[in-house]
Every structure is written in structure tokens, then in C-alpha cells.
Copies of this chain bind each other. A is one copy, B any other.
Amino acid sequence: MLNNIQIILVGITHPGNIGAAARAMKTMELSQMRLVQPKIFPSVEATARACGADDILANAQIFDTLEDSIKDCHLVIGTSTRARHLIWPTLTPKACAEKSLQSAGKVAILFGREQSGLTNEELEFCHFLVQIATNPIFSSLNVASAVQIIAYELHESLKNQSEVGETLIELEDPPASAEMMGHFYKHLEQTLIDIEFLDPEKPKHLMRRLHRLFNRIQPIESEVNILRGILTAAQKAKSS
């Protein structure tokens, strides 16, 4: 169950934090770690701080881009300690855990850089944000501590489910994968250029808003196919 959950650490500078995150994960029965552009890895310091969770470090997958790291994931949740003035559904750690455990497909939970967290561009890939409520005048949560809290809530939720004997409702049709959505966004962008709605000279703001809009939907595969059918029809209409 918890093996569905991918803990993805983005741009971590201090290898000790990677080790401490592995230890935090293993205490809560999480096992799947992915690293996007770690500054130093593997490292003696990471292994020392893992304190016996070496297997998680040994199995960690390394990626050059965030996009590659989430390709097989159907639900992407980004952690943030700052309130962002953007339209994003924001979850508490507990709600994040419940939503993650309900997902039929793989789930990615993203943790950003020590100093600056995740960029707005990286947040574009997220269906939800999870915000750990902190001291308004001291929100400097260590990244491994953030992993610990999120992992703790996942572990608690799973425990509560088995105590209550709750069964999971499996979706007949899973939400489209990040890879499928990536293709959809490219197709959407090209169509908007073709029908002259989007100026390729200054495209960024519009596409970001559309990302946010469609990520909020979490369309299932058959819906993405309908949407892409519409895009193709619009492209043909233009060229006919």
C-alpha cells in the first residue's frame, strides 16, 4: 500500500538530509525514494544519517528533471510551508495522507530545496499542495522533518484504515498519468498556436493557468482522449 507512494526530493543540497529523509521514511514503512538533481549522492554523510535505512538509499532512483521523475504517477502532491497566492487546492498533511491512500495509481509527494522549496514551475505539475502548518514567524522546517510528518500521517492513516476495517474504493478508470497529461498539454499548446489564440512569443502565463485548471480536474484517460479529439478537430478545422 505505502509502496505506491513515491517520496521525491528535488534539488537537495546537503546529503545528510537525504539520509535523514530515508530514515524518516523507513520508520513509517515507506520505501520508494526518488531524487531529482541531488547535489551530492551517494555520500558517506547520507549513509551515516540514514542510520540503517541504507536499503532505501540503495534503491533510490535518480532523475535529471522533475518531469521525468513523475511520469508514471497519477497523483502529484507538492509540499509547501508558504501560503501561495495561487489557485491551488491545499491539503493538510492528514488530508494528503487520506487522498494518497485512496489513489489507485502511483502517488508522488514532492519536497523542494532546503532554502527555496519548489519553484512555481515545479508546482505546475501538482494536482494538490500539502501545507504543514507552522509558526508564522519561524516556518523553517527541515526537509527531513517535513518528510517525517508527511510519512507519519500516511502511516497513521493506514493504521486507522485497518483498525476500522475500511475498504478502499478502487476507481474503474485511473486518472491519466503525468506522461499522458504532458502529451495533452503539448497538443493543447500547439492547437492554441494553430488557431491563433496563443502568441508563441509570450505563451507562459496562459499555459500556466491552463495547467492549473486541468490538473485540478484530474481527468481520467478516456476524458483526455475526448479532449485530444477536440484539439485535433480544431486543428483540422483551421487547415481545411
**A→B interface (CB under 8 Å):** 20, 23-24, 26-29, 51-53, 83, 85-95, 132-135, 138-142, 144-145, 148-149, 152, 155-156, 159, 166-173, 192, 194-197, 206, 209-210, 213-214, 216-220, 223, 226-227, 229-230, 233-234, 236-238, 240
Q: Which of A87, A89, A206, A219 has the most CB of B within 10 A?
A: A87
Q: Is the CB of B28 within 8 A of A134?
A: yes
The interface residues of chain B lying within 8 Å CB-to-CB of A92 are 156, 166-168
The residue of chain B having its C-beta at the shortest distance from the C-beta of A141 within the complex is B27
The interface residues of chain B lying within 8 Å CB-to-CB of A219 are 213
A95 to B160, CA, bound (A): 14
Q: Is the CB of B135 within 8 A of A27?
A: yes
- Contacts A87-B220, A133-B156 given; 16 further ones with Cβ under 8 A? A27-B141, A51-B140, A53-B138, A87-B172, A89-B170, A91-B167, A144-B145, A148-B148, A149-B152, A194-B237, A195-B237, A196-B236, A197-B233, A206-B226, A213-B217, A234-B238
A53 to B132, CA, bound (A): 18
The residue of chain B having its C-beta at the shortest distance from the C-beta of A168 within the complex is B90
Distance in Å: Cβ of A114 to nearest Cβ of chain B = 10
The residue of chain B having its C-beta at the shortest distance from the C-beta of A172 within the complex is B87
A46 to B78, CA, bound (A): 30
Contact of A166 among B23, B95, B132 (CB under 8 A): B95
A230 to B188, CA, bound (A): 11
Q: Is the CB of B195 within 8 A of A26?
A: no
Question: What would 5 A/B residue contacts be, using CB atoms closer than 8 Å?
Answer: A27-B135, A89-B167, A89-B169, A91-B167, A148-B148
Q: Is the CB of B95 within 8 A of A135?
A: no
The interface residues of chain B lying within 8 Å CB-to-CB of A226 are 206, 209-210, 213
Q: Is the CB of B27 within 8 A of A233?
A: no
A90 to B206, CA, bound (A): 31
